[in-house]
Each structure stands twice: as C-alpha cells, then as structure tokens.
Amino acid sequence: MKKLNIAQAQPLIRMAIEEDLGPGDVTTELLFPDSSTAQATIVSREEIVVCGIPVLKEILRQYDPRLTLTPHVRDGQSAHVGSKLATIEGPLRALLSAERVLLNFLQRLSGIATTTNKYVRAIRGTKAKIYDTRKTLPGWRLLEKYAVRCGGGYNHRLGLYDGILIKDNHLAELGKNLSTRLRRVVEDAKNRKGLSFVAVEVDHVDHQLNHVLKIPGIDIVLLDNMGQWQLKHAVRMRDEMCGKGNKPLLEASGNITLDNVSAIAQCGVDRIAIGAITHSATAVDIGLDR
C-alpha cells in the first residue's frame, strides 16, 4: 500500500487547528496551569478499520512538539470495541485543546477505511477490485484516498491531470464521426507523459461499446449505470471482440451499494468505482479517555 506523504496534509491540518483554536483555548487556560502534564488513551467504541495514525502525530506536533503519541495499532488494521488505538502524553493544555481536531480526522478517515473494507469483503472470491472516485471533500482528497487504500480499496485518478477519462459529455460534443475522432484523441493521449490510464465512458452497450472496443489504446471502459444483464453482455462482448490479448478493463459505476456490489462483481467486471466510500462514509465512534 502506498504510504501517506504527511507533508501534503500539513496545510489542511494547520487550517483545522486555526479554525478551532483561534487565539487560544480559553477554557483550558483558565482551568489548568501551563506546567500540568497528563496522559490519555484513544479508544475505539465500535468495530473499525483504523486510518489516520500519521495524521495524529502531525496534529500533535503542530499543537505542541512536547506531545508524544505511542500507537498501539497501524493504519489498515482492524480494531474492536474497547481497543486502545494510541496513547498520548505531554502538556495537559495542548492535549485537551487538540482533542476535537485529532478525533475529527481520525473518525472520518477511519470511517472511510471501514466503509471501503465492507465493500472489499463483499466481493471476495471475484476478480473485481473496489476503486474510489473524485467525489471527495475539497482539500481532503489525498487523505481520503489514503483511507480508501487502508480499507483495501484502490485509487482512481487523483484529479483531472493524471488520467484521461472521456465521459458522456465529452462524447456528446464530439458529434459526428465519433469513432474517427475518438481514435485520434486516444492516440494523442498515449503520447502524453505522466498519465496513469486512458478511459472512455459508455452508457449503451450495443450502441457504443462495440465502437469503443475497436479503438486501440483504451485502458479502461467505464460502464455507467448499467444493470447486471448489461454488465454481463459487456463482458461477453469485450472477451469475444478482444480475445485473450491486450483488452481493456471494464469498470462498473453508478448506483452501487453494499446490497448489490457482490452481484455486480460476479458479472465479470474488473473494477467497481464507488463514490459512496468517500462522500457518504459515516464517521466512526472513537473517544479520547483520561
């Protein structure tokens, strides 16, 4: 699993601290002298997949470098109700001031990892893999995509800059001679450096997929909002037209839930893209106990 570059998260963490702390924690400053020290434990209150330990270290460093974090689990590990995730020691004022921000990050990221892992477990035994999308909170994308990896999922493109995805609105603007123009676009895309893939979206198997499969250089065909019989038809068409050679991967997307993801995976697709693992993941219950 690709590790998190914590330096890329520092601006977001700094903003969160400034938003919450402002000019100072007036309650804590009134109650406790600056010399007070304490210890606290971060505890899971439900079954989760942990994500965010490196983020916690950076949050504590920005509050007060004297705060130390001793992790008891690693990102990507499962934790049970009552599991101790980490211990924090250091100045009491800084520890109490940091509580809400560090829990906000840990609860959200662990929520995404936990949600992703539910989808990953639901498709075990199939060849399909779970992918995220660009449906992320502004400013949180790198962290949320890291959380997806911690949950056993995979990352789609990071943004508009590192992968080509020709969607339905692009195709509509190409107008007539679609196949010819699309072939030229794919050829040009293959000459660009730094791209992870070239993908084309189709929403009609019989009207579009047969044309797209004839164009060399396409890495992924996105099958948008298709039912199971359409997905199976698309898999058969791809296998018959492309044989055992270099054939594009098929990716299902749209209206995918935990209730139907297993059935979709069994249709034979290679990838399943799910926006819900980031935009609709519920924060998990984690507490800071003294």
pLDDT at 70: 98
pLDDT at 72: 98
pLDDT at 9: 95
* Average pLDDT estimate for 16-45: 96
Is 176 annotated to bind a ligand? Reply is no
Query: Which two tokens mark 110?
Result: 């662990």
Q: How far is the C-alpha of 96 from the C-alpha of 149, rounded, in Å?
A: 30
pLDDT in tens, 161-218: 999 999 888 877 776 677 788 888 888 888 888 889 999 999 888 778 888 998 999 9
Query: Does residue 106 sit in the same domain as residue 190?
Result: no
Residue 251 lies in a domain: yes
Residue 243, Ramachandran bin (φ over 0: left; ψ between -120 and 50: alpha; else beta): left
pLDDT at 178: 72
* Average pLDDT estimate for 49-53: 98
Is 274 annotated to bind a ligand? Reply is yes
Residue 1 lies in a domain: no
- The single residue listed with the structure tokens 């692009």 is 170
What residues make up the domain containing 45? Answer: 6-120+282-289
Residue 163 lies in a domain: yes
Which CATH number do you get for residue 55?
3.90.1170.20
One-letter amino acid of 257: T
pLDDT at 2: 83
Is 157 annotated to bind a ligand? Reply is yes
pLDDT at 245: 74
Query: Does residue 87 sit in the same domain as residue 175?
Result: no
pLDDT at 204: 82
Query: Does residue 237 sit in the same domain as residue 258?
Result: yes
Q: How far is the C-alpha of 106 from the C-alpha of 200, rounded, in Å?
A: 36
Query: Does residue 56 sit in the same domain as residue 191?
Result: no
Pick from 234, 233, 226: which is nearest to 253 by CA? Answer: 226
Among positive and negative, which fits the CA dihedral 153, 158, 162, 164?
positive
Pick from 165, 111, 153, 189: which is nearest to 271 by CA? Answer: 153
> In the predicted model, is pLDDT for residue 115 greater than 80?
yes
pLDDT at 110: 98
Is 206 annotated to bind a ligand? Reply is no
Query: Does residue 104 sit in the same domain as residue 229?
Result: no
pLDDT at 118: 98
Which CATH number do you get for residue 135?
3.20.20.70
Query: Does residue 65 sit in the same domain as residue 175?
Result: no
Is 78 annotated to bind a ligand? Reply is no
Query: Does residue 78 sit in the same domain as residue 103?
Result: yes
pLDDT at 129: 98
> In the predicted model, is pLDDT for residue 234 greater than 80?
yes
pLDDT at 165: 92
Query: Does residue 13 sit in the same domain as residue 115?
Result: yes
Query: Does residue 81 sit in the same domain as residue 210?
Result: no
Residue 245 lies in a domain: yes
Q: How far is the C-alpha of 272 from the C-alpha of 265, rounded, in Å?
A: 7
* Number of domains present in the structure of the chain: 2
Q: Give exposure, 96-106, as e/b (b: 16+ Cβ within 10 Å).
A: bbbbebbbebb
Q: How far is the C-alpha of 143 from the C-alpha of 75, rounded, in Å?
A: 12
pLDDT at 208: 84
Residue 40 lies in a domain: yes
Kindly give, in sequence order, each residue whose CB lies less than 8 Å from that of residue 217, ignoring residues fewer than 6 positions away.
186, 187, 189, 190, 198
* Catalytic residue annotation: 100, 135, 167, 201, 224
pLDDT in tens, 242-251: 877 789 999 9
Instruction: State the burial class of residue 37 (Cβ atoms within 10 Å of its Cβ: 0-12, 13-18, 19+).
Output: middle
pLDDT in tens, 257-287: 999 999 999 999 999 999 999 999 999 999 9
pLDDT in tens, 133-148: 999 999 999 999 999 9
pLDDT at 210: 87
Query: Does residue 274 sit in the same domain as residue 141?
Result: yes
Query: Which two tokens mark 260?
Result: 């139907």
SS3 178: helix
Q: Which residues pair with 40 in a beta bridge?
A: 88
pLDDT in tens, 250-259: 999 999 999 9
Query: Does residue 99 sit in the same domain as residue 131?
Result: no
Instruction: State the burial class of residue 247 (Cβ atoms within 10 Å of its Cβ: 0-12, 13-18, 19+).
Output: middle
Q: Are 151 and 158 in contact (CB under 8 A)?
A: no
Is 45 annotated to bind a ligand? Reply is no
Residue 255 lies in a domain: yes
Is 282 annotated to bind a ligand? Reply is no
Query: Does residue 107 sit in the same domain as residue 130?
Result: no
pLDDT in tens, 59-103: 999 999 999 999 999 999 999 999 999 999 999 999 999 999 999
Q: How far is the C-alpha of 83 from the C-alpha of 243, rounded, in Å?
A: 50
